[in-house]
Structure 1
């Protein structure tokens, strides 16, 4: 049995915050190549298979914000829940120099099977959580590798990504940039404008308040780092929401 494709923490939490983690684990369900993608343990531990440390940060943030968390329980290499169903990178065959053996010859039927088994149930559950709240606020948590192969080092400790809706991103960036020891990426290490991704689907298209945070994964590779960064981010997230609400009044 593959087990659930996602986990929900504190579904009935009292606050407006819903904290999401699209790439929480590197687990490969048994129905996908017998539980292996044909990669080494070292490759499966890399950022290509999951967002290292993001799941732990997500759980801590939800707890500290009195919110709900939803986390995937399948590797992004099985099928990427942060991509639209028609995105060519939905099922990766080559990622950061590594060939994904179990995906090289995956046909449309296998792609559809993985969508039905993993991708769609996660999005359906996330939408149900959001729809059950009167005015939800989404915080999506991701992590990024300090350096892609053959590419420059990425200096940012934290990045804030957004598309056209900057209602929560702008006050959060301003608060983070007020800390002199933080190197803050604004739409870095890449842009937050990705048609069909999770924020496009659940936030932008529905007018929901949201923010997407990227943390450099060497900073959150262990429990201590995950807790530290969650505790550091919480007052800025809460403050950014307060700034938005005050500006609207």
Structure 2
């Protein structure tokens, strides 16, 4: 089914800048065929639907730095692009205490349809951008923008800015140093999640 809903938003930017911006949970929208998944509109203003403010930050960074960006246009309540295809939480049935009626129950064929129509196109857009840069001999830094709620399951999250990273500290450590030096933010290093 093609209802004209494009699951991916791309800002072309200048690949020569060496940076690629991603925003997995940029929007709180759903294709019309899914209605509101049985939820009230207030649920789509909460963090369960998207990373509040993350799209605005991604767009601002892309403009400021001239960097290309790839963002989703759909709510993570439909399918979570930040999960592997075999992850049982790729379609959430329950999020922060809220049951998602349109996802519970859900058939394997519906999950596969959502993967094919929404999840794969997003990852294909990322792969195409990275492949093009690598083909030109560029190894880009990939910076994925997220936001998180300041309270999760009764536990406070005091960080105003956090960098999540894994094996390579070359990009994150200088940025962490600069952020801490401003003394304007409570800065998290792999908080509230481990990169």
Alpha-carbon contact 1:159-1:184 (below 8 Å) kept: yes
Tell me the secondary structure at the aligned position of residue 142 of structure 1: coil
Instruction: Name 2:29's counterpart in structure 1.
Output: 27
Distance across 2 between alignment mates of 1:169 and 1:14: 20
- The Cα of 1:18 is off from its aligned counterpart by 1.3
Instruction: Name 1:4's counterpart in structure 2.
Output: 6
Number of corresponding residues? 189
Q: Map 1:194-233 to 2 at 5 A.
A: none
Gaps of 5+ in 2: none
Distance across 1 between alignment mates of 2:104 and 2:38: 10
TM-score by length of 1: 0.73
Cα deviations by residue, 1:102-142 (Å, 9 ceiling, x for unpaired): 00111110000000000000100111011111222211100
- Measured on the aligned residues, the alpha-carbon RMSD in Å equals 1.4
Q: Does 1:44 align with 2:44?
A: yes
Gaps of 5+ in 1: 193-249
Instruction: Name 1:155's counterpart in structure 2.
Output: 158
Distance across 2 between alignment mates of 1:116 and 1:86: 13
Distance across 1 between alignment mates of 2:172 and 2:14: 26
- The Cα of 1:12 is off from its aligned counterpart by 4.8
Structure 1 runs of 4+ off > 6 angstroms?
A: none
Instruction: Name 2:143's counterpart in structure 1.
Output: 139
- The Cα of 1:13 is off from its aligned counterpart by 5.1
Alpha-carbon contact 1:11-1:129 (below 8 Å) kept: no
Cα deviations by residue, 1:69-91 (Å, 9 ceiling, x for unpaired): 11101111110001111112111
